[in-house]
Amino acid sequence: MLYRKYEVAQTLPEALSLLSSHNGAVVRPVAGGTDLILQLHERILSADVLVDISRVPELRGIRLENGQLVIGAATTYTEISRSDLVLKNAFVLAEASKKIGAVQIQNMATLGGNIGNASPAADAIPGLYALQADVVVCGPNAERRIPITEFHQGYRKIDLNPGELIKEIRFAIPAEGTGTAFYKYALRKSQAISVVDAAVCVQLSDGVIKHATVALGAVAPTIIRSPAAESVLIGEPPSEDLFDRAAEAACQDARPIDDIRGSAAFRKYLVGVCTSHAVRSACERAA
Amino acid sequence: MDENNLIKMELTVNGEAVSMIVKGGRRLLDFLRDDLHLTGTKEGCGEGECGSCTVHLDGQSVLACLTPMERAIGCSVLTIEGVGSPTNLHPVQAALLDEGGVQCGMCTPGMVMSALDLLERNPDPTIEEIIEGISGNLCRCTGYKKIIYGIQQAAQELQAASPAGTVKESVE
Amino acid sequence: MTILNETLQEEELKIQTPSISRKDEYESVGKSVLRKDSVPKVTGKAIYTGDLHMPGMLFGKVLLSTQAHALIKSIDVSAAAAVPGVKAVLTSRDIPGENAFGIAIPDQQVLAETKVRYIGEPVAIVAAEDIFAAEQAISQIQVEYEPLPAVFSPFDALKPGAPAVHAKGNILYHTKVRKGNIERGFDEAAIIVENIYRTSGQDHAPIEPEAGFAWIDAEGVLNVFSGTQYAFRDRRQIAIALNLPMNRVRVANMTMGGGFGRKDDVTAEILVALLAWKTGRPVRLVYSRHEAMMSQTHRHPTYTRVRTGANKEGKLTAMEGVIYGDTGAYASLGLFVIKKMALHLGGPYYYPNYKSDSFSVYTNNPIFGAFRGFGVLQAAVSHEGQIDELAEKLGMDPIEFRLRNCLRPGLSFSTGQLMTNACGIATTLERLQDYLVENGLSIELHPEVSA
Ligand SMILES: Cc1cc2nc3c(=O)[nH]c(=O)nc-3n(C[C@H](O)[C@H](O)[C@H](O)COP(=O)(O)OP(=O)(O)OC[C@H]3O[C@@H](n4cnc5c(N)ncnc54)[C@H](O)[C@@H]3O)c2cc1C
Ligand code: FES
Ligand code: FES
C-alpha cells in the first residue's frame, strides 16, 4: 500500500477538517499527485491518509478580482496555459506551464503542488516571483497572505503549518506596457528538470524600462530574484548590449551548485543565457 | 480505518460499468493491470517519465502510474483496450502499423493514447505539434519518425472522414 | 587472439563473387511488410512477461547490494520471513545447484554468497502474496557487509596492488591483433595523428524492464517465461543453478519489450525459477526501472589511444591502438565486446599494417555487456576522428580520403579476412557524395557551435 486511506474533499472546509481529523496519522493533501505519488511509491515519503483536494471548487480556477489575478492552487498547468486571462495578463505563467513535464503531467499537475513541493528547480515559481505574487494559505481558523519570496524560506522549506492548505496565488495585474517571459534550459525539451531557468517582467514606458523583475530558478536553495540584473535594466532602453549586461549582473546573484544535471560553472554560464533570452522576449512582448 | 483497506471501485472503464471491492491504496495502473487484467497499459518506469501507462481519465490523458486508484471512482477511464480491436482498428492504430511505427510495442499503447488526446484537441496538428503531443512518451525502438508520420497520416484520414471543419486550438 | 605476421598482397588476390540468382520481384525484400505481431501490439493485446498472471501467483522481489565491493558477513532473513504473506526468502544457501552463471563464462553469482562486487548485485529474493508484502520483506532483510576497497576505472583496476575484483585478477581478456609490420607502416607515413578517445557507459533502457514468470506444470516441468534473446541458453543456466535435468526446464520467449542486447544475458530467469521451485507456486518478478538500471548490463565505457599514419598520396599506412574497456563486476559478454573493438578499431578502412591491443577489465562498476553495435560503436568514435584529422592535415576532402582508403572486395580487414561481395562502404560513400552535391551541401569539419 502506498497509503491506507483516501479521502476526497468536496469543499474547502471539508478538506481542512479531513486534514486535521486523523489523530496521530500522517495526512497529506494530494492535488495532481505527480510529486507525491512518486515520492510515496519510491518510499521517499510515507502517508497514512491522502486528502484529495483536486476537485475542491474553492481551490480551482482562474479569475480576476479587484485588479488582481487569482489562480486556485489546484489549477492544472493545462488549464493555466489555455486560460485567456493568463495569456493576456501573465504570459510568463502560460509559457512556464507548457515547459513542465509533458502533456500528461500538465493535465495532472497543479500550481499549488509545485509550490508545496518547493523544489529549487520548480518551473512555475520563478514566474510568480517575477509577478511579485502572494500565496494565500488557509487553515482551520484563518487565512494568511504571504509574499511568495517569504513563503519559500529555504531549501524545500515553506511557511505552511500542519493542517493548512495553499489556497490560491494572487498578484496585481501588470501595468499597461508590461511584457513577461520564461526561459528554461534543460537537457531535453520535455520531461526534464531545469538546469537553470529565468522569468522576467519588464514594463516599458516611452521606450525605456520603467520597472523590471528578474527571477532565477535552480541556482540557489530557493528561487531567487536578481536585484543586480533588475537595477541594470531599470531606466534603460532595451538593446542587445543591455541584455548582455543584465545577464552578467544576474550571474553575480546566482549561487549555483554542482549536481548531476550540471556543474556550478556551467550553471553560472546558463544564468546569463537564460536571463538575456527572457529579458529580450519580455521586452519584445512589452513593446 | 479498515485494516485491509478494502474499497469499492465504481467507475466506467472503456464504456462499461465496473463495480468491485478491491484493496485500495494503490495506483490506477495497478488497478487496471492487476484487478481488471487490462494489461495493455504498460509500466515502463513507474515514475512519470515514459508515458507507457498513459490512459484517459474523463477525457484527458494522464499517467496511470502517478494516479491514485481512488481518484478514478465515479470517473470514466479509457485504456488501449477500449480504443480499437484487431478486426476494427482505430485510424491511429492502423496508421501506426502502416507507417511501421510499432516495433517491440511496449510504448505503443501509451503512444496511441497520447495521439488520441492530441487529435481530439487538435485534429490537424503540424509535425511540431505532434512531437510536442507525444513528448511525454518514450520509445526506444523506432526513433519516433515513423510514429510521428503515423499520427500525421491518421490525422489526415480522420480529417477526411469528418468534413465538418474543426477549429484549431492554439496555446502559444 | 589473432596474429598475422606477413603483409598480404591484397591487390593480387582475385575474389570470386558467389553467383546469386536474382529475381525481380520478392515476397518481402524491398517491400513494407506488416510485422506478424504488430496488430496485437497496437491494440494492447500482446502479452509481455509482466502481463502474465495465474491463480495463486506470488510476487517476486530482489534485494540488491548497496555496496560496490564488500564481504558479506551475515544475512538475517528472519524478520523478512515473518512478514505476513511472505512465502519464501532465499539467499545463496538455498540454491540447489551451482551458484554460478554467465553468458560467456560463469563468473556471476545467482545470489551473492561471500562477497558483492557492484551496487545492484542480487543478494536475496522474496516471494509473497502481494507486491507490498514482498517489498516490506525485502526492507526487513539484514545484510552485514564488510566494505572492501573498490575500483571504478580500468586504470585503477590495473594499478599494481589494486583491489582484486576477482581472485584471478582484474584483466578479463586481452586481445591482440597484428597485421603486417607496424614499424614499417609508420616509417612509410608522411603524417601521423595520435589521439585519446573516451566513450561513456549507457543504459539500454528498453521500455520493458526485465521480468520473469515461472511455474511448475502438472508434469513437474519448471516453466520459465520471459522476454529473452536466447531461450535455450537461459534454459541451460537455469537447469544448472537448480540442479535439474534440462528436460525438467522449459523456457518460452514472451513478446519482448525491447532488448538491444541486454536480454541476451540471463536477467530475471534464474531468480524467478528459484522462487517458483521453492514455493511450488507461480511467481512473477518484474524489475522496476530503478532496479533494472542498477542490476542489469550496460554499454561499455572505453578509453582508447590510437595512432594512425597515411602517406602523401592519402593512403593509410598503419594504425596502432590500445583499448581499455571497463567491463564492470562480471564478464557478461565483455570479453567479446572489447575484443571486437580491437578488431574494428580501424573501422571500414584498409590498413596494410595494423596493431591493436584491447583489455577488458573488471571493476566494481555495474556490469557492461552486449549493446547494439557490440563494441564497434565505441571504435567508430576513434576511427572516424582519426580519419577526419588525417584528411584535414593532408588537405583532402574527407569523403575522398575515405573513398581512397575504404575496404573493397579483394582487400583485407584487420584480421586478414578478405572482403568479398558484402562490403558496401564505397557505395555508401558515393551515395553520400551524390547526396551532398544534389542538395548543395558540403562537409564542415568544425562547425561553429550555434545556440
Ligand atoms: C515526469 C515528471 C516531470 C516533471 N517535470 C517537471 C518540470 O518540468 N518542472 C517542474 O517544475 N516540475 C516538474 N515535475 C514535478 C511536478 O509535476 C510539479 O512539481 C507539480 O507542479 C506538482 O503538482 P501536483 O499537483 O502534482 O502536486 P502533488 O504531488 O499533488 O503535491 C506535491 C506536494 O505539495 C503538497 N500540496 C499539493 N497541493 C497543495 C496545497 N494546495 N496546499 C498545500 N500543500 C499542497 C502535497 O502534499 C505534496 O507534498 C515533474 C514531475 C514528473 C513526475
Ligand atoms: S510507467 Fe507511467 S510514465 Fe512510465
Ligand atoms: S516500439 Fe519499442 S519502445 Fe517503442
Say which residue, C391 or B170, is predicted with more confidence.
C391
Structural domain count, chain B: 2
Residue B167 clears pLDDT 80, i.e. is over it: no
Q: What's the mean pLDDT in B29-49?
A: 98
Give the closest of C32, C35, C40 to B86, CB-based. Answer: C40
Domain boundary among B55, B82, B109: B82
* Gap between the Cα atoms of A32 and A106, Å rounded: 9
Residue C18 clears pLDDT 90, i.e. is over it: no
Q: Is A114 in the pocket of ligand 1 (CB under 6 A)?
A: yes
Tens-digit pLDDT profile for residues A97-154: 999 999 999 999 999 999 999 999 999 999 999 999 999 999 999 999 999 999 999 9
Centre of ligand 1 from the C-alpha of residue A108, in Å: 9
Tens-digit pLDDT profile for residues A147-177: 999 999 999 999 999 999 999 999 999 999 9
Return the H-helix or E-strand segment holding A191: none
Is C4 contained in some domain? no
Residues C175 and C322 in one domain: yes
Centre of ligand 3 from the C-alpha of residue B119, in Å: 21
Residues B101 and B165 in one domain: yes
- B68 with A42: Cβ contact below 8 A: no
Tens-digit pLDDT profile for residues C27-46: 888 888 888 899 999 999 99
Task: Please report residues of B whose CB lies closer than 8 A to that of A2.
Answer: 25-27, 68
Q: Provide the pLDDT for residue C63.
A: 98
Q: Residue C169: left (phi > 0), alpha (psi -120 to 50), or beta? A: left
Domain boundary among B82, B117, B144: B82
- Kindly report the CATH number assigned to the domain that includes residue C192: 3.30.365.10
Residues C318 and C418 in one domain: yes
Ligand 3 atom closest to B102 (CA):
1
Residues B77 and B98 in one domain: no
Q: Provide the pLDDT for residue C450.
A: 43
Report yes or no: B92 and B150 within 8 Å, Cβ to Cβ: yes
Is C31 contained in some domain? no
Tens-digit pLDDT profile for residues B102-127: 999 999 999 999 999 999 999 999 99
Residue A67 clears pLDDT 80, i.e. is over it: yes
Beta carbon pairs, B and C, within 8 Å: 104
Question: Which residue segment(s) compose the domain that B160 sits in?
Answer: 91-170
Ligand 1 atom closest to A100 (CA):
8
| Average pLDDT along chain C | 93
Q: Provide the pLDDT for residue A76.
A: 98
| Average pLDDT along chain A | 97
Residues B72 and B96 in one domain: no
Residues C119 and C261 in one domain: yes
- Kindly report the CATH number assigned to the domain that includes residue B28: 3.10.20.30
Q: Which residues pair with A143 in a beta bridge?
A: A138
- Please tell me the number of the ligand nearest to residue A15's CA: 1
Residue B64 clears pLDDT 70, i.e. is over it: yes
Phi/psi at C297 (nearest 5 deg)? -80, 165
Report yes or no: C406 and C426 within 8 Å, Cβ to Cβ: yes
- Kindly report the CATH number assigned to the domain that includes residue C115: 3.90.1170.50
- Please tell me the number of the ligand nearest to residue A80's CA: 1
Give ∠ CA B141-B144-B149 in degrees, rounded to 5: 130
Percent of chain C with pLDDT over 90: 89
Which chains does chain A touch, 3 or more C-beta pairs < 8 A?
Answer: B, C
* Gap between the Cα atoms of A87 and A81, Å rounded: 7
Centre of ligand 3 from the C-alpha of residue C197, in Å: 31
Q: Provide the pLDDT for residue C4.
A: 40
Q: Provide the pLDDT for residue B164.
A: 59
Confidence band, pLDDT 50/70/90 cuts, at residue B168 = very low
Is C444 contained in some domain? no
Confidence band, pLDDT 50/70/90 cuts, at residue C101 = very high
Q: What's the mean pLDDT in A272-287?
A: 97
Q: Provide the pLDDT for residue C448.
A: 55
Report yes or no: A271 and A256 within 8 Å, Cβ to Cβ: yes
Residue C172 clears pLDDT 90, i.e. is over it: yes
Residue type, position C306, single letter: V
Domain boundary among C238, C271, C295: C295
Confidence band, pLDDT 50/70/90 cuts, at residue C447 = low
Q: Provide the pLDDT for residue C421.
A: 78
End-to-end CA distance of chain B: 47
Q: Provide the pLDDT for residue A91.
A: 98
* Three-state SS at C204: coil
- Estimate the share of chain A in helix, then strand, then coil, as percent rounded to the nearest 5: 35, 25, 35
Ligand 2 atom closest to B65 (CA):
2
Residues C334 and C413 in one domain: yes
End-to-end CA distance of chain A: 54
* Three-state SS at C418: strand
In CATH, A59-172 is 3.30.465.10: yes
Please give the grid coordinates belonging to residue C42. 497496437
Confidence band, pLDDT 50/70/90 cuts, at residue C76 = very high
Residues C254 and C385 in one domain: no
Q: What's the mean pLDDT in A4-29?
A: 95
Rg (CA), chain A: 19
Structural domain count, chain C: 2
* Gap between the Cα atoms of C62 and C45, Å rounded: 28
Tens-digit pLDDT profile for residues C404-426: 999 999 999 999 999 987 889 99
Q: What's the mean pLDDT in A258-284?
A: 96
Residue type, position B134, single letter: I
Q: What's the mean pLDDT in C396-402?
A: 95
Q: What's the mean pLDDT in A259-284?
A: 96
Superfamily of domain A178-286: CO dehydrogenase flavoprotein, C-terminal domain (3.30.390.50)
Residues B117 and B66 in one domain: no
Tens-digit pLDDT profile for residues B89-103: 999 999 999 999 999
Residues C189 and C104 in one domain: no
* Three-state SS at A217: strand
Residues C191 and C313 in one domain: yes
* Gap between the Cα atoms of C273 and C222, Å rounded: 7
Percent of chain B with pLDDT over 70: 92
Shortest CA gap C438–chain B (Å): 23
Q: What's the mean pLDDT in B121-139?
A: 98
Residues B62 and B122 in one domain: no
* Three-state SS at A77: helix
Domain boundary among B30, B52, B82: B82
- C132 with A273: Cβ contact below 8 A: no
Q: Is B45 in the pocket of ligand 3 (CB under 6 A)?
A: no
- B105 with C260: Cβ contact below 8 A: no
Report yes or no: A171 and A184 within 8 Å, Cβ to Cβ: no
Contacting residues for B145 by C-beta, under 8 A, at least 6 apart: none
* Gap between the Cα atoms of C353 and C182, Å rounded: 5
Question: Which residue segment(s) compose the domain that C101 sits in?
Answer: 50-147+205-295
Centre of ligand 1 from the C-alpha of residue B115, in Å: 24
Q: Provide the pLDDT for residue C160.
A: 96
Q: What's the mean pLDDT in C155-180?
A: 97
Residues C322 and C417 in one domain: yes
Percent of chain A with pLDDT over 70: 100
Please identify which residue in the block is written with the cell numbers 484520414.
Answer: B157
Ligand 1 atom closest to A191 (CA):
3
Confidence band, pLDDT 50/70/90 cuts, at residue C230 = very high
Please give the grid coordinates belonging to residue B3. 485494516
Residues C314 and C374 in one domain: yes
- B25 with A104: Cβ contact below 8 A: no
Domain boundary among C280, C295, C310: C295
Task: Please report residues of C whose CB lies closer than 8 A to that of A3.
Answer: none
Residues C108 and C210 in one domain: yes
Please give the grid coordinates belonging to residue C361. 577489465
Q: Which of A103, A117, A191, A281 to mutate to test the interface with B (most CBs of B within 10 A)?
A: A103
Tens-digit pLDDT profile for residues A31-45: 999 999 999 999 999
Q: Provide the pLDDT for residue C446.
A: 64
Centre of ligand 1 from the C-alpha of residue A194, in Å: 14
**DSSP H stretches of helix in C115-202:** 131-140, 154-158, 182-187
Residues B16 and B38 in one domain: yes
Q: Is beta strand C58-64 parallel, antiparallel or unpaired with respect to B76-78?
A: unpaired
Residues C114 and C232 in one domain: yes
Q: Provide the pLDDT for residue C20.
A: 61
Residues B33 and B71 in one domain: yes
Q: Which sign does the torsion angle of CA B56, B59, B62, B68 carry? A: negative
Ligand 1, atom 47, residue with closest C-alpha: A29
Residues C229 and C135 in one domain: yes
Say which residue, C400 or C30, is predicted with more confidence.
C400
